[in-house]
Amino acid sequence: MNRSDTADEAEHRTPVLIVGGSLVGLSMSLFLGRLGVPHTLVERHAGTSIHPRGRGNNVRTMELFRTAGVERRIVEAASVLADNHGILQTPTLVGDAGEWLFREIDPGGGLGRFSPAAWCLCSQNDLEPVLLNSARELGGDLRYGTEMMSFDQDPDGVTALVKSRETGEHTTVRADYLVAADGPRSPVRERLGIGQNGPGDLFHNVSVTFTSRDLAEVVGERRFIVCYLTTPGADGALLPVDNRERWVFHAPWHPEHGETLEEFTDERCAAHIRRAVGVPGLDVTITGRAAWHAAERVAERYADGRVFLAGDSAHEMSPTGAFGSNTGIQDAHNLAWKLAAVLGGWAGPGLLGSYDAERRPVAEATSARASSRSVEHSHPGYTPAAGAAGPAGRRGGILNVALGYRYPGGAVLGTDPAAPVVPDTLALGGEPGSRAPHLWLDRAGTRISTLDLYERSPVLLSSEGGVWQAAGAEVAAELSVPLEAYRVGDGSGADLRPLDGADWARAHGVGAGGAVLVRPDGFVAWRSEDAPPDPAAALREALATVLALD
């Protein structure tokens, strides 16, 4: 029998309270768990997503999951769609009409020059259980069926009241910090009075799940990620779930014209799908439907005191390109190491201010690119304003958005504040504010990527035989920072040996006597192109500035 809402309150103490247990909240839990930060997550729903959505995990996200030790599990969970590539646009699926917007996401395998990871098509309902189980294995306290009722903050922390939706029991949670990953209608953001900027609603769709045994034969060997069907009055987006009989269809919905969700009956949806596919007698059994709204909005700020916004609570984007979920997961990764550093005592609280300075401009640039990509793909239901997302939106490809974004300001030194957040071309040359270059290395007989070095602490790279190893040890001890210093080279004194003839110093934009300081999230914080007169002093100043140490 359920207890009443007036049941006695329990008390709970945690360093970090995460509100929201979807992709971003679960990623935050995973990343904090990897860093040894105790935390509690509350999610009002009883379990993870049951709807196959949000499935495009870009290469940067997969790098983060690689570092967090779950890449292989995710690839296994995504195996059913491993051979699906490209985006098809066609009036119907009958015959050979239409064109491929692109056939391969990584034609020629060129991505391997930039990353040890690859794109992965893993639906949210398959990905979330992997993150949930992995986070719990790391000690995460994840409470589903638990809703946050209210919260208040003071200079020393946040006090929240949460309620079990099963028992009615109330618990007072005292946390040092609160992370709101509570979706686009974020109650936390509303409570804080944080506004949003951007064009607002873009278009509306109804996502229809259905089964059809015969559709696979119609599709044939066309293993697409998504197919945009363009017949007037029957347009929509078709997505395979298992390439056999489970499918998703996104149908345009126009509530601005008075159209209601109730009008999308099973009969209407099935008829729409048959017309779109081009097979009047196609077997279609509707199994579910859910409305979703595409919008372009970014919060005016990502933090208020000890409360932080992440994911959809901080930004909404057009779904084309799956930028929204990936940006949210990368929000969580950026914030997790900073919380760990501050709570661990090796960074000052001022470091947390760099979260907004770094991630908000990325969201603004990425959301604009997502909208322009919807124009390029003629996404069903989207009629952009005249002149919106014009030629400027086509600058560069998807990889410079997914992997090449940079932080002109924040916890970085030596950047150009006027440089674009998303460059026109992909260039990862060790510039401060950019993701550090990927090189294959030999470490004690094991082949690793440079990116595998970055997770729990700052890393200093320099050539063997130089002066930076001693400087790193001196500064780490003086500042009480868990700095890891590696000597890179082919000699006996090297900790890491470049493979495949790579020149690590050239790849990172420094000379033989230079050094590169990389943050735990894999972004270059600072570099010295050569050895200064006092390496320890230069490193001390850089590290103290980046970590906001007084």
Q: Domain 440-546: state its class.
A: alpha beta
CA angle 418, 420, 426 (to 5 degrees): 135
HSE-up (13 A, CA, CB side) for residue 549? 18
In what helix (H) or strand (E) does residue 498 lie, and over which residues does it extend?
A: strand 497-498
Whether residue 496 has pLDDT greater than 60: yes
Q: Which of 237-241, 375-379, 431-435 comes out lowest in average pLDDT? A: 375-379
Nearest residue to 272 via CA among 253, 251, 244:
251
pLDDT at 399 (0 to 100): 86
The verdict on pTM exceeding 0.95 is no
Q: Are 398 and 423 in contact (CB under 8 A)?
A: no
Out of 95-109, 130-144, 419-433, least confident range: 95-109
pLDDT attached to residue 50: 81
CA–CA separation, 324 and 172 (whole Å):
32
The answer to whether the CB of 346 falls within 8 A of the CB of 480 is yes
Phi, psi of 532 (to 5 degrees): -75, 170
State how beta strands 196-211 and 285-299 pair: antiparallel
The two tokens of residue 341 are: 């550093």
Of the pLDDT bands very low, low, confident and very high (cuts 50, 70, 90), residue 229 is very high
**Is pLDDT at 6 greater than 50 in this prediction?**
no
Residue from 336, 314, 338 nearest 325 by CA? 314
Q: Which CATH architecture has domain 10-73+116-188+300-402?
A: 3-Layer(bba) Sandwich (3.50)
Please determine, for residue 490, whether its predicted confidence score (pLDDT) is greater than 80.
yes
- Report the mean per-residue pLDDT for the chain: 92
Q: What is the reported pLDDT for 52?
A: 76
Domain boundaries, the chain: 10-73+116-188+300-402, 440-546
Per-residue pLDDT of 264-283, as tens digits, reads 999 999 999 999 999 999 99
Is the pLDDT reported for residue 349 higher than 60? yes
- Per the CB < 8 A criterion, the answer to whether 345 and 370 are in contact is no
The gap between the terminal CA atoms of the chain, to the nearest Å, is 55
DSSP state of 545: H
CA 523, CA 517: separation in Å to the nearest integer?
9
Tell me the pLDDT tens digit for each residue of 445-463.
Answer: 999 999 999 999 999 999 9
Residue 83: other Cβ atoms inside 10 A: 10
Which range is least confidently modeled, 286-295, 352-361, 377-386, 400-409? 377-386
CA 476, CA 228: separation in Å to the nearest integer? 54
Indicate if the pLDDT at residue 7 is higher than 60. Answer: no
Query: Over 70: is that where the pLDDT of 384 sits?
Result: no
User: Is residue 176 predicted with pLDDT exceeding 90?
Assistant: yes
- The torsion angles phi and psi of 75, rounded to 5 degrees, stand at -60, -40
Q: What is the mean pLDDT of residues 508-535?
A: 97
Exposed, middle or buried, 501 (CB in 10 Å: 0-12/13-18/19+)? Answer: exposed
- Indicate whether 340 pLDDT > 90: yes
